[in-house]
């Protein structure tokens, strides 16, 4: 090919460039080029040097804290939080289980598959299984919540079309012991009753364990003794509860008959009914605690006033009479010890309906109990305009008003707890979160009531509840039950409420037995003193040593009851009555503590 | 021809490259171990959770009472067996000499004690200590 341009026309290397050290403008151009190279290289060097220095600094020299990858062991959120008692015993927990389902489209031989499955699960109906496994659906539950062994067996069958899915299942390790309190939930882990329901939102989050105030040991004691009383007297049911007076915590709560929370569907309505919180009943003579407290606190009566209980009171068509009455004038300690309806009605007549309403409201008897359950019954009482003289007089001995056992317990607790009412709670209260009580009666009144309650156990209807060393004080209650508007013969609610030790009460208990029938040992009686008081005595004798309460000897100053001298022997066979020579007109304690203004 | 300086830099480069990759692999191995440990922890926590449920089930009070009755001699403690240290009486030789001019004062009577069966109160602990104390009080 011919060159286009002749050789001599090509740009030639300038001869000056071939010279080692050029002169003139060439020199400047070269120097500029050199310096540009130099600056470029310097920049890169600086950059790399920075990186190198920083590397050395960070890895070798710096003692900076590295971000900690080791966190303190935080439990991952559970599918549903646990419920535990005050000592950490688990009452309700969720465990992950496998559930078996099938894709019927992929089942090749429903008959064979059903046969193999019924070998593992004998309680599954083969025909139902066959129908579930055939058909064009793509999902069919076969069996939920398998045990690991069952899962292994199904896995070994190696049948295509059967799959497992992880599900959570709620377990109740303590079973029926805490059935009403803890409640139960459905298959989708939604709470349906008890704490499971009322704290459903907190439990669903899975992070916070719900700690109850319940003490399982005391719950067991209450459950056992209540069951025994119900069995001994062939009753239809019962309820009981124990309250810690210093904190307002409910240590035990039992309602019988109960059920197994794992299979709530098999339980009858009667078994699921929480008699301790939801049922409202006329409590009978236990209300005399409140009546006497109101009379003494308002000043309308004094401890040594005498009321004439010789004749029944007749108001309109109503007649108020005593059961096994003494039919003579009685002092207030005697009215309380002998449980006189006539005396109580006369005391109530003196302070009147307005004062009665004020005090009963303060004691929490006119409003549903504030505990953290959904199953709480509302009390029944006359409307304000209907609260007449006759109502006041019947309410004095506990008829004409219906309250739940929990309300009664909290009210009695306030009376014996030096006059301070605390809202009962099912949750454990930390020492710094205990609410100050609201004052409902004065210290003096509380002391007088405690001494009166001790009289009932020392000399009166509650003798069977006495436990040597623990100064048990209480009040029996035997209330006739109503069907419609009529009182039924031989159907009664026998109850006993007690506190111990009366010198400085720590706990208050209530035991109620529904429709006890007299048995051979009880000489034809089925009253609170025969049915419920022994149960309370047994509970105290088991519970007090458990909590390490020191027993109080009989001749200690706290054990002395100045009111004992004011009550003539209950019956001539009662030899345990103590008489102290100096105590004829003993004044009850010293200065008045002012009532808090409402 | 490769200059010495360049050669040295190339060698340094090679070493640094190897170093970087080794570092990277060791970090990956650490992270893998961390993930493994975390998974094991979760498994262990789940196992603890299951065991806590089982423990609660085994702590059913009725079952415990039955086991205690069948296998041990323990019985529930009663009020007669509880007393405070201040109720201990001194032994005869340690007692200060009685001043005969003072009216005789006997210490407050304790609740009558049960005869000491071969039993231990499970509420208060050490057998030998309880037996010694009770022997002193009863004697």
SS3 A202: helix
Q: Is the pLDDT of residue A217 over 90?
A: yes
pLDDT digits 0-9 by tens, A294-319 = 999 999 999 889 999 898 888 888 88
Q: Do A545 and B41 touch (CB under 8 A)?
A: no
The per-residue DSSP string of A377-410 comes to PPPB---GGG--HHHHHHHHTT-S-BB-HHHHHH
Backbone angles phi, psi at A311, to 5 degrees: -125, 150
SS3 A486: strand
Q: How confident is the model at residue B64 (pLDDT cuts 50, 70, 90)?
A: very high
Question: Which among B62, B76, B83 has CB closest to A542?
Answer: B76
Q: Using DSSP bridges, classify how beta strands A83-84 and A210-211 pair: parallel, antiparallel or unpaired.
A: parallel
User: In a mutagenesis test of the A interface, which of B56, B105, B121 is the best target, namely the one with the most A β-carbons within 10 Å?
Assistant: B56
- Report which of residues A211 and A97 the model is more confident about: A211
Q: What single DSSP character describes residue A106?
A: G
What is d(CA A380, CA A280) in angstroms, rounded to the nearest whole number?
A: 8
Whole-complex ipTM: 0.72
Q: Is the pLDDT of residue A322 over 90?
A: no
Q: What is the mean pLDDT of chain A?
A: 87
Question: Which among A76, A91, A545 has CB closest to B45?
Answer: A76
pLDDT of residue A587: 32
Interface residues on B facing A, Cβ-Cβ cutoff 8 A: 34, 41-42, 45-46, 49-50, 52-57, 59-62, 76-84, 108-111, 123
> Mean pLDDT, to the nearest integer, of A10-20?
67
> Mean pLDDT, to the nearest integer, of A183-196?
91
A548 reaches B (C-beta below 8 A)? yes
- Do A200 and A374 form a contact (C-beta atoms < 8 A)? no
Residues of chain A contacting residue B77, judged by C-beta atoms under 8 Å apart: 545-546
> What are all long-range contacts of A104-109, with beta carbons under 8 Å and residues at least 24 apart?
A104/A132, A104/A133, A104/A134, A104/A135, A104/A136, A104/A137, A104/A138, A104/A140, A104/A161, A105/A136, A105/A137, A105/A138, A105/A161, A106/A160, A106/A161, A107/A133, A107/A134, A107/A159, A107/A160, A107/A161, A107/A162, A108/A160, A108/A161
Q: Do A174 and B50 touch (CB under 8 A)?
A: no
pLDDT of residue A57: 87
What is d(CA A534, CA A473) in angstroms, rounded to the nearest whole number?
A: 13
Tell me which chain B residue has its CA closest to the CA of residue A173. Answer: B57
pLDDT of residue A576: 33
**Length, in residues, of chain B:** 139
> Mean pLDDT, to the nearest integer, of A284-288?
94
Q: What single DSSP character describes residue A16?
A: G
- Interior CA angle at A302 toward A578 and A461, to 5°? 40
Strand partners, A510: A241, A497
Q: Is the pLDDT of residue B113 over 70?
A: no
> Mean pLDDT, to the nearest integer, of A4-30?
71
Question: Which among B59, B61, B109 has CB closest to A553?
Answer: B109
In the sheet where A237-244 sits, what is the strand order? A249-256, A237-244, A507-514, A486-500, A473-483
C-alpha to C-alpha distances, A56 to A60, A68, A473, B19, B85, nearest whole angstrom:
5, 22, 81, 14, 69
Q: What single DSSP character describes residue B125?
A: -
Question: Which among B61, B82, B111 has CB closest to A545?
Answer: B82
Q: Do A89 and B56 touch (CB under 8 A)?
A: yes
Question: Which among B46, B60, B81 has CB closest to A174?
Answer: B60
Contacts of A328 (CB under 8 A, 6+ apart): A309, A310
E-only strand ranges, A33-82:
none
Per residue, what are the HEC states of A437-483? CEECCCHHHHHHHHHHHHHHHHCCCCHHHCCCCCCCEEEEEEEEEEE
> How far B104 CA lies from chain A's nearest CA (Å)?
18
Residues of chain B contacting residue A97, judged by C-beta atoms under 8 Å apart: none
CA atoms within 13 A on the CB side of A577: 19
Q: How confident is the model at residue B97 (pLDDT cuts 50, 70, 90)?
A: low
What is the distance of C-alpha A16 from the center of its chain? Answer: 105
Question: Which among B53, B80, B82 has CB closest to A95?
Answer: B53
pLDDT of residue A274: 95
What is d(CA A313, CA A258) in angstroms, rounded to the nearest whole number?
A: 42
Q: Do B62 and A220 touch (CB under 8 A)?
A: yes
pLDDT of residue A524: 83
Crossing angle of helices A443-458 and A288-298, rounded to 10°: 140
Per residue, what are the HEC states of A507-559? EEEEEEEECCCCCHHHCCCCCHHHHHHHHHHHHHHHHHHHCCCCCCCCCCHHH
Please state, for a pLDDT cut of 90, what percent of chain A lies above it. Answer: 56
User: In a mutagenesis test of the B interface, which of A539, A553, A556 is the best target, namely the one with the most B β-carbons within 10 Å?
Assistant: A553
Please state, for a pLDDT cut of 70, what percent of chain A lies above it. Answer: 89
Contacts of A2 (CB under 8 A, 6+ apart): none
pLDDT digits 0-9 by tens, A494-511 = 999 999 999 999 999 999
Backbone angles phi, psi at A314, to 5 degrees: -115, 120
Scanning the structure block, which residue is given the tokens 């100045």? A562
> Mean pLDDT, to the nearest integer, of A408-419?
96
> Mean pLDDT, to the nearest integer, of B125-138?
50
Q: Do B41 and A96 touch (CB under 8 A)?
A: no
A147 reaches B (C-beta below 8 A)? no
Residues of chain B contacting residue A173, judged by C-beta atoms under 8 Å apart: 53-54, 56-57, 59-60
Backbone angles phi, psi at A171, to 5 degrees: -115, 145
Tell me which chain B residue has its CA closest to the CA of residue A69. Answer: B34
Tell me which chain A residue has its CA closest to the CA of residue B45. Answer: A75
User: Which of these, A246, A242, A221, A197, lies nearest to A83 by C-alpha position?
Assistant: A197
Tell me which chain A residue has its CA closest to the CA of residue B30. Answer: A69
User: Which of these, A586, A593, A525, A524, lies nearest to A561 by C-alpha position?
Assistant: A586
Q: Residue A538 has which token pair?
A: 């047994």
Residues of chain B contacting residue A171, judged by C-beta atoms under 8 Å apart: 53
Q: Using DSSP bridges, classify how beta strands A329-331 and A306-308 pair: parallel, antiparallel or unpaired.
A: antiparallel
Question: Which among B45, B77, B83 has CB closest to A75?
Answer: B45
C-alpha to C-alpha distances, B71 to A566, B58, B62, B67, B68, nearest whole angstrom:
51, 16, 14, 6, 5
The per-residue DSSP string of A167-198 comes to EEEEE-TTGGGGHHHH--B-TTS-B-SHHHHH
Residues of chain A contacting residue B56, judged by C-beta atoms under 8 Å apart: 89-91, 93, 173-174
pLDDT of residue A553: 83
What is d(CA A80, CA A296) in angstroms, rounded to the nearest whole number?
A: 51
pLDDT of residue B131: 55
User: In a mutagenesis test of the A interface, which of B38, B53, B130 is the best target, namely the one with the most A β-carbons within 10 Å?
Assistant: B53
> Mean pLDDT, to the nearest integer, of A417-423?
94
pLDDT of residue B139: 39
User: Which of these, A370, A374, A372, lies nearest to A421 by C-alpha position?
Assistant: A370
Q: Residue A524 has which token pair?
A: 């034809």
> Mean pLDDT, to the nearest integer, of A190-217?
93
> According to the per-residue pLDDT averaged within each range, which of A164-168, B66-70, B108-112, B117-121 is highest?
B66-70
**CB neighbours (10 Å) of residue A425?**
21
Residues of chain A contacting residue B76, judged by C-beta atoms under 8 Å apart: 542, 545
> How far A89 CA lies from chain B's nearest CA (Å)?
6
> How far B92 CA lies from chain A's nearest CA (Å)?
24
- Report which of residues A577 and A322 the model is more confident about: A322
Q: Do A467 and B79 touch (CB under 8 A)?
A: yes
pLDDT of residue A62: 72
Q: Is the pLDDT of residue A590 over 80?
A: no
> Mean pLDDT, to the nearest integer, of A92-102?
89
Q: Is the pLDDT of residue A199 over 90?
A: yes
User: Which of these, A378, A377, A340, A384, lies nearest to A392 by C-alpha position?
Assistant: A384
C-alpha to C-alpha distances, A206 to A297, A374, A483, B14, nearest whole angstrom:
49, 21, 46, 54
**CB neighbours (10 Å) of residue B91?**
9
> Mean pLDDT, to the nearest integer, of A517-531?
88
Q: How confident is the model at residue A592 (pLDDT cuts 50, 70, 90)?
A: very low
A93 reaches B (C-beta below 8 A)? yes
Q: How confident is the model at residue A79 (pLDDT cuts 50, 70, 90)?
A: confident
> Mean pLDDT, to the nearest integer, of B124-129?
47
What is d(CA A516, CA A518) in angstroms, rounded to the nearest whole number?
A: 7
Q: Is the pLDDT of residue A418 over 90?
A: yes
For residue B45, the surrounding DSSP H or E stretch is helix B4-58
Residues of chain B contacting residue A555, judged by C-beta atoms under 8 Å apart: 108-109
Q: Is the pLDDT of residue B128 over 60?
A: no
SS3 A375: coil
End-to-end C-alpha distance for chain A, whole angstroms: 123
pLDDT of residue A403: 95
What is d(CA A340, CA A334) in angstroms, rounded to the nearest whole number?
A: 8
pLDDT digits 0-9 by tens, A534-577 = 999 999 999 999 898 888 888 888 888 888 877 775 553 333 33
- Report which of residues A351 and B130 the model is more confident about: A351
pLDDT of residue A373: 95
What is d(CA A54, CA A52) in angstroms, rounded to the nearest whole number?
A: 5
What is d(CA A238, CA A532) in angstroms, rounded to the nearest whole number?
A: 10
User: In a mutagenesis test of the B interface, which of A83, A93, A178 is the best target, namely the one with the most B β-carbons within 10 Å?
Assistant: A93
User: In a mutagenesis test of the B interface, which of A84, A148, A168, A174 is the best target, namely the one with the most B β-carbons within 10 Å?
Assistant: A174
User: Among A460-469, A509-518, B81-90, B120-129, whose mean pLDDT is lowest?
Assistant: B120-129
Q: Do B49 and A78 touch (CB under 8 A)?
A: yes
Q: How confident is the model at residue B43 (pLDDT cuts 50, 70, 90)?
A: confident
- Report which of residues A570 and A187 the model is more confident about: A187
Size of interface A-B (CB pairs under 8 A): 79
- Report which of residues A225 and A582 the model is more confident about: A225
What is d(CA A589, CA A292) in angstroms, rounded to the nearest whole number?
A: 17
Q: Residue A578 has which token pair?
A: 């103590």
User: Among A77-91, A105-119, B97-111, whose mean pLDDT is lowest?
Assistant: B97-111
pLDDT of residue B50: 87
Q: Is the pLDDT of residue A471 over 60?
A: yes
Q: Do A545 and B76 touch (CB under 8 A)?
A: yes
Q: Do A93 and B49 touch (CB under 8 A)?
A: yes
Q: What single DSSP character describes residue A372?
A: S
> Mean pLDDT, to the nearest integer, of A105-130?
87
Residues 163 to 192 of A: which have CB under 8 A from any B CB?
A: 171, 173-175, 177
Q: Is the pLDDT of residue A335 over 70?
A: yes
pLDDT of residue A597: 36
Scanning the structure block, which residue is given the tokens 């794992």? A262
Q: Is the pLDDT of residue A144 over 60?
A: yes
- Report which of residues A455 and A579 the model is more confident about: A455
Backbone angles phi, psi at A88, to 5 degrees: 90, 5
Q: Is the pLDDT of residue B133 over 70?
A: no
Q: Is the pLDDT of residue B28 over 60?
A: yes
Please give the positions of A annotated as active site. Answer: 285
């Amino acid at each position: 090919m011919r060159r286009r341009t002749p050789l001599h026309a090509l740009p030639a290397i300038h001869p000056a460039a071939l010279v080692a050290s050029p002169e003139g403008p060439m020199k400047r151009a070269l120097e500029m080029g050199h310096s540009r190279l130099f600056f470029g290289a310097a920049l890169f060097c600086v950059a790399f040097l920075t990186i190198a220095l920083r590397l050395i600094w960070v890895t070798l020299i710096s003692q900076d804290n590295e971000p900690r990858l080791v966190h303190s062991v935080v439990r991952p959120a559970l599918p549903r939080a646990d419920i535990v008692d005050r000592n950490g015993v688990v009452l309700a927990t969720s465990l992950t289980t496998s559930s078996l389902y099938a894709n019927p489209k992929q089942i090749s031989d429903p008959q064979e598959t059903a046969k193999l499955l019924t070998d593992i699960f004998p309680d599954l109906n083969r025909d139902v299984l066959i129908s579930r496994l055939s058909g064009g659906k793509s999902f069919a539950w076969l069996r939920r919540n398998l045990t690991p062994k069952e899962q292994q067996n199904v896995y070994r069958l190696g049948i295509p079309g059967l799959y497992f899915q992880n599900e959570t299942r709620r377990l109740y390790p303590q079973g029926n012991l805490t059935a009403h309190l803890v409640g139960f939930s459905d298959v989708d882990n939604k709470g349906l009753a008890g704490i499971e329901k009322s704290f459903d939102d907190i439990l669903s989050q899975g992070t916070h364990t719900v700690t109850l105030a319940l003490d399982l040991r005391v719950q067991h004691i209450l459950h056992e003794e209540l069951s025994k009383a119900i069995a001994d007297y062939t009753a239809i049911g019962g309820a009981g509860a124990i309250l810690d007076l210093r904190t307002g915590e409910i240590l035990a709560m039992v309602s019988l008959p109960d059920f197994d929370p794992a299979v709530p569907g098999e339980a009858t309505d009667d078994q699921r009914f929480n008699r301790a919180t939801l049922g409202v009943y006329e409590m009978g003579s236990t209300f005399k605690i409140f009546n006497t407290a109101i009379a003494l606190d308002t000043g309308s009566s004094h401890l040594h006033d005498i009321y004439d209980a010789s004749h029944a009171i007749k108001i309109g068509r109503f007649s108020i009479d005593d059961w096994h009455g003494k039919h003579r004038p009685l002092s207030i300690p005697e009215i309380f010890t002998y449980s006189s309806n006539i005396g109580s009605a006369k005391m109530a007549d003196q302070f009147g309906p307005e004062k009665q309403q004020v005090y009963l409201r303060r004691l929490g008897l006119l409003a549903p109990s504030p505990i953290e359950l959904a199953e709480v019954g509302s009390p029944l009482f006359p409307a304000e305009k209907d609260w007449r003289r006759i109502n006041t007089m019947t309410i004095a001995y506990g008829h004409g008003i219906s309250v739940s056992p929990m309300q009664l317990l909290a009210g009695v607790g306030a009376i014996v707890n030096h006059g301070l009412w605390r809202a009962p709670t099912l949750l454990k209260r930390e020492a710094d979160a205990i609410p100050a009580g609201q004052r409902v009666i004065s210290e003096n009144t509380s002391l007088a009531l405690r001494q009166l309650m001790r009289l009932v156990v020392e000399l009166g209807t509650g003798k069977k509840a006495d436990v040597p060393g623990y100064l048990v004080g209480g009040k029996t209650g035997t209330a006739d039950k109503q069907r419609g508007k009529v009182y039924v013969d031989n159907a009664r609610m026998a109850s006993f409420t007690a506190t111990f030790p009366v010198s400085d009460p720590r706990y208050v208990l209530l035991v109620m037995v529904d429709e006890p029938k007299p048995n051979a040992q009880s000489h034809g009686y089925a009253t609170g003193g025969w049915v419920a008081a022994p149960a309370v005595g047994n509970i105290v004798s088991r519970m007090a040593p458990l909590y390490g309460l020191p027993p109080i000897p009989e001749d200690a100053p706290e054990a002395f009851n100045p009111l004992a001298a004011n009550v003539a022997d209950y019956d001539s066979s009662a030899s345990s009555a103590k008489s102290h020579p100096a105590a004829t007109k003993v004044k009850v304690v010293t200065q008045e503590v002012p009532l808090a203004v409402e | 021809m490769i200059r010495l300086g360049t050669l040295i830099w190339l060698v340094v480069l090679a070493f640094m490259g190897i170093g970087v990759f080794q570092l990277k692999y060791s970090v990956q191995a650490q992270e893998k171990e961390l993930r493994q440990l975390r998974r094991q922890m979760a498994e262990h926590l789940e196992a603890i959770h299951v065991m806590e449920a089982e423990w609660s089930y085994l702590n059913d009070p009725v079952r415990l009472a039955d086991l205690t009755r069948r296998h041990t001699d323990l019985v529930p403690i009663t009020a007669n067996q509880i007393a405070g240290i201040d109720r201990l009486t001194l032994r005869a030789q340690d007692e200060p000499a009685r001043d005969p001019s003072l009216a005789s004062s006997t210490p407050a009577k304790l609740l009558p004690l049960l005869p000491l069966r071969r039993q231990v109160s499970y509420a208060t602990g050490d057998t030998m200590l309880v037996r010694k104390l009770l022997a002193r009080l009863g004697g």
